[in-house]
Chain A
Amino acid sequence: MKTWLCQQCGWIYDETKGDPLGGIPPGTRWADVPDSWTCPDCGSGKSDFEMVEI
């Protein structure tokens, strides 16, 4: 399980937690998050995220 960091606002996508309010269940791998998904805080797309160690 990995974490991805939004470079525009710092919101973290944690694969273990997913984004349930955004329709992404816990355990969803980053690769399986649809390209139409946007950052729940700033609205940026997946391309604005980078993988990080937290």
Chain B
Amino acid sequence: MNVTLKIRDFDDPTFDPFTVFDDSFGRHVDSPYPELAELGKQARVHPHEYRTLFGLAPDVTTADMPHFTVLGYELVQQIYSHPQIYSNKIFERMLGPGFGRTVTTMDAPEHTRYRRLFQQAFMPNVIARWGDGIVQPVADELVGSFMARGSADLVKEFTSLYPFHIIYRQLGLPPDDRQIFHKLAVALTVAGTNVEKAMEASAKLGAYYGALTEMRYERPGDDLVSLLTKIEVEGERLPKEILISFLRQLINAAGDTTYRATSNLLVALLTHPEQLDAVRRDRSLIPQAIDETLRWECIVMTGFRMALQDTELDGVRIPAGSAVEAVNGSANRDASRYSDPGRFDIFRKATSRHMAFAYGAHVCIGQHLARLEMTRALNSMLDRLPNLRLDPDMPPPRIFGCTMRHPEHIYVKFDA
């Protein structure tokens, strides 16, 4: 079959989901940590929706549910460790209209079966092959586009493009249509404010990925979709509907998070030049620089769950059907787990694993790819941008947001 697939744009191609998305995570919040520390002194469980604590409008998809915001390492871990009480079914309403039936919306035993299948494509030994074939060429191309200039905005010219270009290549999406894919993918996440657009994007991406999947079943290549169509564990393969939903989620899951994490890594090191120098001299420090960044400036600040039964958390009664938000960022800055938790220190003695990728059955499926991408990005810059430093003539980077955190610009100079 020789068919050229074409993605369809929104019926109203002027619709801009990016602004809606950017505004939804709390642009006005410089840092949520002082507020969280203050709240933590009063209680660890608060009967409020997290985003409303910072003046944001409630999520319309959970408006009929009681809400609880949960702080501190111990309780966050407790929530993630008890999926039989704290269920992922809440995502059926939050993400379902856009993504469909993804593993994020499932509980065991269904989740366990499908997660095991998807994970095969994201094992460390599998993604290592993508490192040379896809990740490094993208990093080299992007750095190469500005390395002769001696200055750059690393967000606009690198991090905001980097993981998206990687996932487009992994999926084999046509270069001319990438902006439409990105726009549709972002619209999937704004179901909380515009469910019509989310459903339109879902239908259009679903039609494209459905046809693409059919083509890969018939004529597999070396791309990620082909790999996912072939994966088999104990005689079971991924149903087409589940695979299409996963593909819908992929651009957001692999792009929006790693874009921010890579940005925050660069900010962390550039604003701590002595630690940047240490990493520049000894690249074996990169893994601990990545983990300290993820702890210090967690990308996804909260994890949602729904209480399946009446329960109690730290003495607070949680009725069945409540939305429970585990604040990953608060766990990562819990002073009982990390000394001086607001300090960025790549030489910090490891005392607790951070919660940036959550914990338990739903721990981030793409964390190994995220680490690989961040490692390659940093190595590329340190190798090819000598004397990389913040541009003293431009505004310093500002990490902001209360539900997701990242900088809008990172202005740098280097020896061209």
- What residues of chain A lie closer than 8 Å to B351, measured between beta carbons? 21
Is B123 touching A10 in the complex (CB atoms < 8 A)? yes
Q: Mark B19-38, 1 if CB is under 8 A from A, else 0.
A: 00000000000000000000
Chain B interfacial residues counted at CB < 8 A: 22
Closest chain-B Cβ to A52's Cβ sits at a distance in Å of: 6
Is B112 touching A43 in the complex (CB atoms < 8 A)? no
Majority secondary structure of chain A interface residues (helix, strand, loop or mixed): loop
Closest chain-B Cβ to A38's Cβ sits at a distance in Å of: 9
Asked if A7 is an interface residue, CB under 8 A from chain B, the answer is yes
Interface centre among B81, B115, B119 (most CB of A within 10 A): B119
- What residues of chain A lie closer than 8 Å to B112, measured between beta carbons? 8
A residues adjacent to B (C-beta < 8 A): 5, 7-10, 12, 20-21, 40-43, 52, 54
Is A41 touching B359 in the complex (CB atoms < 8 A)? yes
Given A7-B119, A9-B119, A10-B119, are A42 and B368 neighbors across the interface (CB < 8 Å)?
A: no
Bound-state CA distance A49–B376 (Å) is: 28
Bound-state CA distance A41–B233 (Å) is: 21
Is A52 touching B119 in the complex (CB atoms < 8 A)? no
- Residues 337-373 (chain B) with a chain A CB within 8 angstroms: 350-353, 357, 359-361, 363, 365, 367-368
Bound-state CA distance A54–B124 (Å) is: 8
- What residues of chain A lie closer than 8 Å to B353, measured between beta carbons? 21, 40-41
Is A41 touching B119 in the complex (CB atoms < 8 A)? no
Asked if B125 is an interface residue, CB under 8 A from chain A, the answer is yes
Contact of B124 among A8, A12, A43 (CB under 8 A): A12
Q: Mark B367-385, 1 if CB is under 8 A from A, else 0.
A: 1100000000000000000
Bound-state CA distance A3–B367 (Å) is: 19
Is B115 touching A8 in the complex (CB atoms < 8 A)? yes
Bound-state CA distance A20–B351 (Å) is: 9
Bound-state CA distance A42–B365 (Å) is: 10
Given A9-B119, A43-B81, are A54 and B125 neighbors across the interface (CB < 8 Å)?
A: yes
- What residues of chain A lie closer than 8 Å to B125, measured between beta carbons? 5, 52, 54
Contact of A10 among B124, B352, B360 (CB under 8 A): B124
Asked if B116 is an interface residue, CB under 8 A from chain A, the answer is yes
User: 29 A–B contact pairs at CB < 8 A?
Assistant: A5-B123, A5-B124, A7-B116, A7-B233, A8-B116, A8-B361, A9-B365, A10-B119, A10-B122, A10-B124, A12-B124, A20-B350, A21-B351, A21-B352, A21-B353, A41-B353, A41-B357, A41-B359, A41-B363, A41-B367, A42-B360, A42-B361, A42-B363, A43-B81, A43-B359, A43-B360, A43-B361, A52-B125, A54-B124
Closest chain-B Cβ to A25's Cβ sits at a distance in Å of: 14
Bound-state CA distance A54–B125 (Å) is: 7
Q: Mark B107-119, 1 if CB is under 8 A from A, else 0.
A: 0000010011001
Closest chain-A Cβ to B337's Cβ sits at a distance in Å of: 11
Bound-state CA distance A41–B352 (Å) is: 11
